[in-house]
Chains A and B, each alone.
With several copies, the nearest count.
Chain A
Amino acid sequence: MAKKSEKVTVDEKNLSSLLSVDAIKSIFELMNQNEIGELDLEHGDVRIKIVGKNQQPAAAPATVLLPQAGSLSLTSSALSSVAPADSSATEAKTSASEAKSAPNVRLIRAPMVGTFYGRPSPDVSAFVAPGDEVTPETVVCLIEAMKLFNEIKAETTGKIVKVLVKDGTPVEFHQPLFEIED
């Protein structure tokens, strides 16, 4: 729901063919097979530079610069900047920090549209707080939809790192609610 005012554009569509691990893996293999020492690719905000291990000029290890947020799209930037708004921005941010910090940070996402409540009633404490260990059966929040309060379970085991949504906030389908780590 996301008013249209502020938008963060994260378009991952177009250069994706190159910016996937598989693609880069293939390039690595091809570089090795073909004795290529270095690859340096740049497009707009994207630049990929790959230097072979025993390569003289660059002593640095294989560097992969991931795309910045910003339109990588080759299509209309106006229209490809369409979707991501509040929630997606959050999502993008978290995925980014996820990627940066630790690969074992995961997300608990909203399984439905509705209003998020972190506590069973206003005067008691939250279901979970950062640092809490949860199991798949742990209720982490309520989502109110059509006057019904639905208990949302963690569906996974781990430790709550961060609560991403404030009490009483409307959430979209699949919107990240919690960061969790092993």
Chain B
Amino acid sequence: MIRKVLIANRGEVALRIIRACKEQGIRTVAVYSEADEDSVPVKFADEHVCIGPAPASQSYLNIQQIISAAEITDSDAIHPGYGFLAENAGFAELCAKCNIKFIGPDANAIRHMGDKATAKQTMRAAGVPCIPGSDGVCETLADAATVADECGYPVIVKASAGGGGKGMRLAQDRAELESAYNMARMEAQKAFGDGSVYVEKYVLNPKHVEVQIIADQFGNVVALGERDCSLQRRHQKLLEESPCVVLDEETRQKMYAAAIKAAKAVNYTSVGTVEFLYSSQTKEFYFMEMNTRIQVEHPVTEEVTGIDLMSEMLHVASGLALPFRQEDIKQSGHAIECRINAEDPERGFCPSPGKITTYYMPGGIGVRVDSHCYQGYVIPPYYDSMIAKLIIHAPTRKECVRRALRALDEFYIEGIATTLPFYRNVLMSKPFLRGTFGTGFLEEFLVD
């Protein structure tokens, strides 16, 4: 059993881990940069060690300092939280070498899922649906056309070396494919010095749906429901909810089965999330990637399943078997999480660090706040802008939205700009209330 956990993280997730440890009688060590000396996790942990100056590269990403801190505090485990070193296979490996339990999957699983091409190949081999398309580069237009016929139009031609939307061309039918193929090649050659392209089925305004899984060291893998994370701005999730209202029960069960298959394919242990794109039109879903860590939005799942994920993550890391099986999982009600960021929605979500002069938290039934903030806290400019997670639970989605609006109205943060007003607007918009919106919704909404 784990006795003492060093938390290689900061902010709300550090506090989340401390809370779980305290409730299990596990001692905690907070490591912190000089910028986080006055932070709540440092106060609430049993011990704390300063590991470096403000920049993350010299503190929260400084592996040697963190391992040393674990050694001098005699910690027997390290919890990486999310971000920073959470998906660093080398760090997980080094922990193992130093005889410190890395609280997460083993280095192989992290590495496997970290390389997107490898992950996709493994998933295909395991029978997990992936976006149909060419297995590799389409050397000729004829190749591209064959692939497009196989997976059906519309398709997207993408630069193999690509990114950031460059060398990417949509084709609605065979006629458009030729120019799309040629344009994409030209752009790819120009932008990346490499003209190779591949072809994939194009999913229009999909839902981002992910399945939370947990696996123990005895091969038990359980799916703990899905989360709809389609409310995104520039690929950043802003709001997550569970369940996803557009999934029918059959598709939902298929998705859970696929997620479990994905986890088993890499001998996964610990908590993890398998992300899918889901097309409401075709009811098809496709593997995107697997996040090999606890996620920001895990409380949404905790609220609907009644399972303390952070706590179970610690149990599994201690070598315990899962205390439940798939058939024991009951979901009740609806949960929504709003990520409150220190950003100004009026100014293009520009970060707004600084001193919180007023901090008044909402409360009452169905309201949970996970936050490391307090009145007088100075948000340092060095890290992530998320300052609080507002998590709402209610019997139905409609009641959940109303409760969320009530709680947002009660939430007062002054001294800095936050995304609170943004959520008040989004939650009252018709597309959100219908619940059918896809990942493209927010960009349109923000333009309006």
Contacts and interface: CB of A to CB of B under 8 A. Distances in A.
Q: Interface residue tally of chain A, by bracket?
A: 20 to 34
B64 A112 contact: yes
Nearest to A169: B72
B223 interface: no
A146 B98 contact: yes
Given A76-B414, A79-B374, A79-B412, A114 B52 contact: no
A80 B38 contact: yes
A83 B412 contact: no
Contacts of B378: 13
Interface stretch (B15-23, B43-51, B192-200): B43-51
Interface in A67-89: 73-80, 82-85, 87-88
A52 to B, nearest CB: 34
Given A113-B65, A146-B67, A146-B68, A77 B48 contact: no
Interface in A151-165: none
A30 interface: no
Contacts of A76: 357-360, 374-376, 412, 414
A22 to B, nearest CB: 17
Contacts, number: 111
Contacts of B358: 76-79
A65 interface: no
Given A1-B73, A75-B375, A76-B414, A82 B68 contact: no
B412 A80 contact: no
Contacts of A88: 37
Contacts of A84: 37
B49 A82 contact: no
Contacts of B213: none
Given A2-B47, A83-B38, A78 B68 contact: no
Nearest to A81: B43
A1 B59 CA distance: 15
Nearest to B413: A78
Interface in B34-84: 34, 37-40, 42-43, 45-53, 59, 64-65, 67-69, 71-73
Interface in A1-39: 1-4, 13-14
Interface stretch (A53-61, A128-136, A170-178): A170-178
B50 A82 contact: no
A182 B151 CA distance: 77
A78 B37 contact: no
A83 B49 contact: no
A171 B67 CA distance: 13
Q: Which 3 pairs, one residue from A and one from B, show the smallest C-beta to C-beta distance?
A: A75-B376, A170-B72, A76-B358
Given A83-B43, A113-B72, 11 more contacts: A2-B48, A4-B45, A75-B375, A76-B357, A77-B414, A78-B412, A82-B37, A113-B50, A114-B72, A115-B71, A115-B72
26 contacts: A1-B47, A1-B48, A1-B49, A1-B69, A2-B47, A2-B49, A75-B374, A76-B358, A76-B359, A76-B374, A76-B414, A78-B412, A78-B414, A79-B360, A82-B39, A83-B38, A87-B50, A88-B37, A112-B65, A113-B49, A113-B50, A113-B69, A170-B73, A172-B49, A173-B65, A174-B53
Interface of B: 29, 32, 34, 37-40, 42-43, 45-53, 59, 64-65, 67-69, 71-73, 98, 357-360, 374-378, 412, 414
